[in-house]
Structure 1
Amino acid sequence: MSTILLVDDDVDSLWMLQIILAGHGYHILLAEGGEAALDKAAQCLPDLIVTDWNMPGMDGIALCERLKFYPALAQIPVVMASGRIPPKEKSTLWNVFLSKPVDLGVLECAIDSLLAKRLSGPQTRINLPAPAVSRWQPIPSKLWV
């Protein structure tokens, strides 16, 4: 089950998206702003983040910039949603930009696509030591050929 962090200062939007995405089998985390989202992302390492652009305090762009500072968080795909006009150039801060009101079918397709790409990509291990060599491992022998 993939974990999605939803970030928006509009509680009604958070609850609506939570109900819809949880119904599709995703584990949902909620944050009502960029600061709370950064804390939750650091604690839980979600598989994907859906954030609003316009929020008081740390907005969606500042959140994306801060995520890129941390190696463990930098590779999390981000869907940016906003009522603003999308930027003409594609940003490297997020993977998908959706205009509000968000078409739920398009959002679901974007989420499915980003999660499939992330799960099918190379898996990296972070700070995990190599397994200890067992003295009971079989020794290759030419006698058994």
Structure 2
Amino acid sequence: MANILLVDDDVENLWSLQVALEGDSHRVSVAGDVRRALDILRRNPIQCIVTDYEMPEIDGVEFCRIVRSQPAHCALPIVMLSASPEPTDTPPFWNRFFRKPARVEDLISVIEEHTAAPLAGPASWQRRNAVASMRALLQCEHPPASRWAPVSARCWP
């Protein structure tokens, strides 16, 4: 069970994906645009993002780049969906790309692959997670940092 953020400007796509993922016991937050998605991401412990590629104002590629540039979220798994082919003119800031219409089973499988520890045991999961984290870290613009902001002791009474 993972906390998933769905980002799509098409309400029908959001609704159908939300129903499918909640039916598989995932907790789902939905956003109709990138600004709302960034607000949700700031306020909630999201474990995976599923985003559309073609959206007004800020597209999926730019959204992925913004997420990867944030130290607290640079290793977050991102799955991109689109009716268009995968963009090749930019570095892939996402982990997986699916062409619409994507099979829900494939999408759920990828989400679980990136968010859940497999039954093989914690040692193999940690090894695989370390490799995935290193790959994501190499894509980050800034090194990872704590989600906690430093507090100056001078501001205390």
What residue is the counterpart of 1:65 in the other structure?
65
Pair 1:22–1:81, CA change in 2 (3 A): same
Once the two structures are TM-superposed, the CA of residue 92 in structure 1 deviates from its matched residue by: 3.5
Q: Secondary structure at the match of 1:126?
A: coil
Q: In 1, distance between residues paired with 2:146 and 2:71?
A: 10
- Tell me whether 1:17 sits opposite 2:37 in the alignment: no
Aligned length: 127
Residues 52-102 of structure 1 deviation map (CA, whole Å, 9 limit, x = unaligned): 000001111110011112111111100000011123589430000000111
Unaligned runs of 5+ in 2: 118-124, 134-143, 149-157
Unaligned runs of 5+ in 1: 129-145
Pair 1:81–1:127, CA change in 2 (3 A): closer
Which has the larger Rg? 1
Give yes or no for contact 2:50–2:78 (8 Å, CA) kept in 1. yes
Give yes or no for contact 2:49–2:76 (8 Å, CA) kept in 1. yes
What residue is the counterpart of 2:32 in the other structure?
32
Compute the TM-score of the two structures, normalised by the length of structure 1: 0.78
- Tell me whether 1:93 sits opposite 2:93 in the alignment: yes
Q: Secondary structure at the match of 1:28?
A: strand
RMSD over aligned CA atoms reads: 2.4
Compute the TM-score of the two structures, normalised by the length of structure 2: 0.72
Give yes or no for contact 1:48–1:77 (8 Å, CA) kept in 2. yes
Give yes or no for contact 2:72–2:147 (8 Å, CA) kept in 1. no
Q: Which amino acid aligns with 2:47?
A: D
Q: Secondary structure at the match of 1:108?
A: helix
Q: In 2, distance between residues paired with 1:88 and 1:98?
A: 14
Pair 1:68–1:127, CA change in 2 (3 A): closer
What residue is the counterpart of 2:103 in the other structure?
103
What residue is the counterpart of 2:122 in the other structure?
none
Once the two structures are TM-superposed, the CA of residue 3 in structure 1 deviates from its matched residue by: 0.2
Give yes or no for contact 2:72–2:145 (8 Å, CA) kept in 1. no
What residue is the counterpart of 1:126 in the other structure?
146
Q: In 2, distance between residues paired with 1:86 and 1:78?
A: 14
Q: Secondary structure at the match of 1:30?
A: strand
What residue is the counterpart of 2:116 in the other structure?
116
